[in-house]
Amino acid sequence: MIAMRRLAFLSCAAAALAGAAVAQGALAQGRDPVSALRGHDSNAPIDVAADRIEVQDRADRAIFAGNVKVRQASLSLDTERLTVAYSSGGGIQIRRLDAAGGVVVRSPSETARGNFGIYDLDKKLITLVGDVQLRRAGSQVMGSRLVIDLQSGRAVIDGGAPGVGQSGGRVTGRFTVPQRDR
């Protein structure tokens, strides 16, 4: 039974690696900036590519390491290490992605960076922690934690403790201003 589940997971992982290039094309579609986050389909297939995979079948998890690329619909996540938690009753169901090491999350209109990231597929939340930056159309907001609600499209950034990270305990931002005639 364990060998069959491992084989099923490895087969899914191989299919995901083959489909990563196809998912990359979705990023080039350029949808409306607000809809890029609101209503993201967290049920869409997840494609993962990495230098190495270790399946820990008894713990229902897989660890991807080295230049990890994750794609789901129009969202992408790049990191150095990714732990995928799944349930295996009735097929492989991914529940959560934990990313560590230079985490970058991209939608067609925004790029978010942090030291660590969690994508909870059941709650439809993406959380980035540590030296967080959120960029959109030349504007940037920085803090220590970012939570993106994929159902509503709402993003919240917290400042964190004073003296920690680049924001010094506060949320900071720099925003572009449209050029006006004088």
The per-residue pLDDT for range 125-141, each reduced to its tens digit, is 999 999 999 999 889 99
Residues of the chain with pLDDT under 70: 1-39, 161-168
What is residue 38's predicted lDDT score, i.e. its pLDDT?
63
Domains annotated for the chain, with CATH where assigned, are 2-174 (2.60.450.10)
What is residue 39's predicted lDDT score, i.e. its pLDDT?
65
120, 123, 160, 170 from 29: Cα distances, Å:
25, 26, 35, 35
H/E element holding 13? helix 2-27
pTM of structure: 0.74
What is residue 40's predicted lDDT score, i.e. its pLDDT?
77
What is residue 153's predicted lDDT score, i.e. its pLDDT?
83
What is residue 56's predicted lDDT score, i.e. its pLDDT?
93
Pairing of strands 172-174, 139-149: antiparallel
Q: What angle do CA 45, 50, 53 make, to 5 degrees?
A: 90
